[in-house]
Amino acid sequence: MVSILEQMASSRLLFTCTTVLLFLPLLFLSPSNAFSSYPNDDGRLKVSAVGSQKVNLSLYYDALCPSCATFIVKNLAGVFDKDLITIINLRLVPWGNSFVNKSNNAIVCQHGSEECVLNTLEACAIDVLHDVDKHYALIYCFEFLVIEGRHKDWQTCFDSLGLPKKPVLDCYISGNGTKLIQKYADETAHLNPPHTFAPWVVVNNQPLQEDYQNFVTHVCKAYKGNGAPEVCKSVGAKIN
In the chain, what are the domain boundaries? 2-39+53-239
What does the buried/exposed string (b/e) look like for 155-189 if buried means 16 or more CB atoms within 10 Å of the residue's CB? eebbebbebeeeebbebbeeebbeebbeebbebbe
User: Would you put residue 9 in left (φ > 0), alpha (ψ -120 to 50) or beta?
Assistant: left
- State the pLDDT confidence band at 236, using cuts at 50, 70 and 90: low
pLDDT computed for residue 52 by the predictor: 64
pLDDT computed for residue 144 by the predictor: 98
User: Is the domain covering 2-39+53-239 a CATH 3.40.30.10 domain?
Assistant: yes
Q: What is the pLDDT of residues 161-212, one digit of tens each?
A: 999 999 999 999 999 999 999 999 999 999 999 999 999 999 999 999 999 9
- Report pTM: 0.79
Q: What is the pLDDT of residues 79-100, one digit of tens each?
A: 998 889 999 999 999 999 999 9
Mean pLDDT along residues 201-225 = 97
Cα distance between residue 76 and residue 74, in whole Å: 6
